[in-house]
Amino acid sequence: MTTTAVLAGLGAYLPPRRVSNEELSERFDTSDTWIRSRTGIRQRRWADTGISTGDLAYEAGHRALKSAGLGLGAPIDTVVLATTTPDHPCPATAPDVASRLRLTSAAAFDISAVCSGFVYGLMVAASTIEAGHAERVLLIGAETYSTILNPEDRTTSVIFGDGAGAVLLRSGTPDEPGALLGFELGSDGSQKELICIPAGGSRQRSTYRAPDPGDMYFTMQGKKVFATAVRRMGESSTALLNRVGWSIDSVDHLVGHQANLRILHSLAEQVCIDRQRVVTNIEQVGNTSAASIPLALAHAAAQERFKIGDRLLLTAFGGGLTWGSTVLTWPGITPS
């Protein structure tokens, strides 16, 4: 039988500091009513100064290992970290996280696909296993968006939160609960300016001249992104379901990128799935970009919402632009 990646562990970690809509309303010209009605968010977590993406990734990675019955120093072949907010522009954050997890012989690298990073990471991790290059891969999605938000931009500042989620994938077979059964990924770089940090890279180097301070921060054209996110996640989900031969009625849970509750509801309408089957945790954590899907999975699993063998459709959309979907059956693991 073909070798397939199987979900064997799930971990989540949120930094302790809760930031309520009320707290943000004291800092910005905004209100709890606006934030809740336009996004569905009630609170998010922000890492205190000194806590980095790598620190959150370490905690989530450790929990995913424990959830899989493993621990520090486990025989992991590859560590993949999906993030938009690495600890440093160079080197990647994954080797440091791998080292702290005592995974001393693992290959380790970051991938950058913004809010689609976790789904892109699943494809990379699953392909590595299917090709026989790894038996076990630890995939972490971790973000500290609080470090890149423009303190003068009320729109992005109320949406994004910090956190990390991780999964342990092992080599298995497609008939096992937990098997990842297909992918559908895409991108459109011609719209890169819709979600962008203009300065700090090779296009607008900070070393040559001081950039416009606003260019150092995350920017997003929310309205255009909203419409494109619904369309791309919907099209990607439908294409993947057609490819694997699942009807939408047979999908037990849709776990979409938690960008905005209204986006999730519009997506449900577009793919014709009942809202009851849409997993949401955005109310508690906001948009955590590459950490969003594993955090939503861990939240729903902790509430015992999934049963062994349930069919899950995961779909994400983010800067790049990038988008992607995957399907799996639920393995009955307990998140840590």
> What are the residue numbers of the active site?
115, 257, 287
**8 contact partners, CB below 8 Å, separation of at least 6:** 68, 136, 168, 169, 170, 178, 331, 333
Taking the complex as a whole, the smallest distance from the CB of residue 224 to ligand UT7 amounts, in Å, to 8
Tokens at residue 325, please? 């979907």
Q: What is the DSSP string of 233-263?
A: HHHHHHHHHHHHT--GGG--EEEE--S-HHH
Judged by CB under 6 A, which of 318, 324, 331, 335 binds ligand UT7? 318
Q: Check binding of 39 to ligand UT7 (CB under 6 A).
A: yes
Residues from 54 through 113 that contact ligand UT7 (CB under 6 A):
none
CB neighbours (10 Å) of residue 130?
A: 15
For 38, counting Cβ atoms within 10 Å of its Cβ (0-12 exposed, 13-18 middle, 19+ buried), the class is middle
Compose the 274-303 pattern: x for residues touching ligand UT7 by CB under 6 A, - for all others.
Answer: -------------x----------------
- Packing angle between helix 292-302 and helix 117-130, nearest 10 degrees? 80
Q: Can you tell me which residue has the tokens 């791309």?
A: 232
Q: Check binding of 187 to ligand UT7 (CB under 6 A).
A: no
Residues from 236 through 275 that contact ligand UT7 (CB under 6 A):
259-260, 263
Taking the complex as a whole, the smallest distance from the CB of residue 321 to ligand UT7 amounts, in Å, to 9
Q: What are phi and psi of 228, to 5 degrees?
A: -65, -35
**248 contact partners, CB below 8 Å, separation of at least 6:** 238, 241, 271, 272, 273
Q: How many residues bind ligand UT7 (CB under 6 A)?
A: 20
Judged by CB under 6 A, which of 100, 154, 243, 265 binds ligand UT7? 154
Q: Check binding of 321 to ligand UT7 (CB under 6 A).
A: no
Q: Would you say 115 or 168 has its CB closer to ligand UT7?
A: 115
Q: What are phi and psi of 163, to 5 degrees?
A: 165, 175
Segment lying near ligand UT7 (by CB under 6 A), choices 44-52, 82-90, 93-101, 217-225: 217-225
Q: Check binding of 231 to ligand UT7 (CB under 6 A).
A: no
Over the Cα atoms of the chain, what is R_g? 19
Q: Would you say 58 or 120 has its CB closer to ligand UT7?
A: 120
Footprint of ligand UT7 on this chain (CB under 6 A)? 30, 34, 38-39, 115, 154-155, 158-159, 222-223, 225-226, 229, 259-260, 263, 287, 317-318
